[in-house]
A and B are shown apart, each in its own frame.
Chain A
Amino acid sequence: MIRSIILLAAFVGSAASAQYQPYPYPPPPPGPGYPAPAPGYPQPGYPGMQGPVLALPVLEADLRAKAGSDTVRFGRDSYVLTPQAQATLTAQAQWLIQHPFVRASIEGHADGRQTRDYAFALGERRAAAVRNYLIASGVPPQQLQIVSWGRERPTTAAAHDATWLQNSRVVTVLKQQESYFPPQQPIPQPYR
């Protein structure tokens, strides 16, 4: 009891002794791989921000490294998430939660053995299943959008039943933000 009072007093004391200081902007990120700041935003960085925003290829490589893959696969005609797909998506969800300023396009595909219209519907269905799983895993819905490519973008040029089934997939594609700072809000004033 006494110890907790002491701790509380120390905490209050440290808060009271904190003086307002303008938050210094960090220097611009060096080298390639970093996008230039958008016009109107002098320099990136404010309290709570998690480091500099990285370029898409860097982010995508990071997503693949942390989540294992940016792709989940399906059986023919199926939009059921396999246990393996669920494990991948759980890791993708954690990554997306840690990167709230990165938007993702969930792109569904169907294999070339589906007729064209059905392929569009099936790709959309798969993408919706993936999006719903990510939302259930805690990803904000506004961070995600879904697109179906139907069978218009096969992964392999060869047309065989075995290889075409590889096209039954959903890919999480990260999207470039329109501006450098996605949340269009003023830089918060530090707490006095």
Chain B
Amino acid sequence: MRLSISNLALFAAAMVAGGSAQAQSQLVIAVPQLPTPRNVETEGGQTGVIGIQIAQQIVSDLRTAGSIYPTGPDGLRHYTPTEAGAPLYPNWANIGAGALVTGYVQARDDGRITVACYLYDLKQRREMTRKGFVVDPKEWRRAAHRCAGAFFTAVTKRPGHFDSRIAYVAATGSRTVPVKRIAIMNWDGTDHSYLTQGGVTVTSPRLSPDGQRIAYMSFAGGMPHVRVMDVDGSNDRQLVQSQSMSFSPRFSPDGRSIAFSMAVDGNTDIYVVDVDGGFPRRLTTTPGVDTSPSFSPDESRIVFESDRGGAQQIYVMDADGSGQRRISFGGGANSAPVWSPDGERIAFARWTGSGIGIGVMSPTGADEKMLTSGWQDEAPSWAPDSEWLVFQRTQQGTGATSLHTVTVGGGEPKLLATPTPGADPNWSGAAQ
């Protein structure tokens, strides 16, 4: 693993991951409850209770990171708010942890609360990171997510995903005439809401890098086309004025342009257009189907799928459409490529003739590795940390779909519970 762990106290907890006997070290982090100088009733509850809830949220966030083992808040000693910024190291020496989370919750005169959180290396006796927020008391969970994300980044040197969002298509009704709505939620399934109301069929929601806009495909008006709206549902408009069908949108990493597919008289090609509209630039010209574009993080290249050689395979081109070359040679039909936020990997779906699974490869096509082998696993999308993937799994027979997450290290996919059957997920790259 790519962890910077040299200067940390570690519990060497060997974990067998994904069938490969890969020893993985876990850092134990103690998370006692956050104290409050004065227990004050706020709109979000008593500040003392909020302190306990924030500690619980940090623990449950960090527990999902494979390289961290959080403990608490139960069973750990209490401390005073003044100790939060200067921990008494001898008092924490015997709890069996390599790192300690402290902090406090304090009510302000304006009705908001101050949330502070610190991470200390107990072995080196030094501060690793700190975060402070002034938030509405009802938004304490957001502060907890951001604290956990900062701790995750301090330990692993990678961005956390605890404050990120996932958009997906929620399907209700019968399978033959489904009602599809775009929904958005926190990465752990909380704070769930619907952005469209099911009057028209919608698919392929794609969040902008800042998480503020969403591009999607809509059947409104009879001709399927790409639309863009804000995540609160306002400013909904058609991306390109065209009589042709457009689909498969994806934002560029700077959020200023959108790559998409347009089908003109049986020929699907990839185009790029400014996010505010304008004249689209055509990037591919082959008679085959070219679709599912995804930018590299530096925006210099685009990975896409094409059936120009027969079966669907994954190709890479420069952002201006030049230098198109195939990179997938691992067998089967490969589709739906997505470039990871750190640029190191490309996730894809592979049809083997009997099933579809999720795999990853390097941008050159090397180091290919299959992560899942379900009957039909598809539509992968990267978390901001480039470590996790969310994807859609379809059950044989019933055709029921659900969302699952998996790490690039492998392992058993975890169900991401949604109120209705979920499909076509997209994880926002919203930074901390």
Contact = CB atoms under 8 A, between A and B. Distances in A.
A3 interface: no
B395 A116 contact: no
Given A116-B204, A122-B289, A159 B398 contact: yes
B100 interface: no
Interface in A112-150: 112-113, 115-118, 120-122, 124-125, 127-129, 132, 147-148, 150
Contacts of A129: 266
A116 B266 contact: no
Interface string A151-182: 01111111110000000000000000000000
B261 A117 contact: yes
Interface string B164-177: 00000000001111
B395 A118 contact: no
Contacts of A113: 351, 356, 376
B349 A124 contact: no
Given A115-B356, A121-B268, A159-B395, A152 B378 contact: no
Contacts of A158: 397-399
Chain B's interface size range is: 35 or more
B203 interface: yes
B291 A121 contact: yes
A124 B378 contact: no
B379 A115 contact: yes
B106 interface: no
B195 interface: no
Interface in B197-232: 201, 203-204, 217, 222-224
Contact of A115 (B217, B247, B336): B336
B224 A147 contact: yes
A124 B266 contact: yes
Given A113-B351, A158-B399, A152 B201 contact: yes
Contact of B263 (A116, A120, A154): A120
B389 to A, nearest CB: 15
User: Chain B binding site: helix, strand, loop or mixed by DSSP?
Assistant: strand
Interface string B242-268: 000101100000000000010101111
B71 interface: no
Nearest to B424: A116
B289 A159 contact: no
Given A121-B261, A159-B398, A154 B176 contact: yes
B397 A159 contact: yes
Contacts of B335: 115, 117-118
B178 interface: yes
Best-buried of A117, A152, A157 by chain B (most CB within 10 Å): A117
Interface in B134-189: 174-178, 180
Contacts of B340: none
A94 B311 CA distance: 35
Contact of A120 (B224, B265, B267, B376): B224
B305 interface: yes
A121 B379 contact: no
B45 to A, nearest CB: 43
Nearest to B348: A115
A79 B427 CA distance: 34
A125 B398 CA distance: 28
Interface in B335-354: 335-336, 349, 351
B176 A155 contact: yes
Interface string B359-383: 0000000000000000010110000
A157 B289 contact: no
A186 B222 CA distance: 29
Contacts of A147: 222-224, 245
B399 A157 contact: yes
B394 interface: yes
Best-buried of A77, A115, A124, A158 by chain B (most CB within 10 Å): A115
Contacts of B394: 112, 159
A148 B266 CA distance: 10
B312 interface: yes
B420 interface: no
B224 A157 contact: no
A128 B201 CA distance: 22
Interface pairs A-B: 8 shortest CB-CB:
A159-B399, A128-B266, A121-B268, A124-B263, A157-B175, A121-B289, A117-B248, A117-B291
Interface of B: 174-178, 180, 201, 203-204, 217, 222-224, 245, 247-248, 261, 263, 265-268, 289, 291-292, 305, 307, 311-312, 335-336, 349, 351, 356, 376, 378-379, 394-399, 424
Interface of A: 77, 79, 105, 112-113, 115-118, 120-122, 124-125, 127-129, 132, 147-148, 150, 152-160
Given A118-B289, A125-B266, A147-B223, 19 more contacts: A112-B376, A113-B351, A116-B336, A117-B204, A117-B247, A117-B292, A117-B335, A118-B312, A120-B247, A148-B224, A150-B203, A152-B178, A152-B201, A152-B203, A153-B177, A157-B176, A158-B397, A160-B396, A160-B397
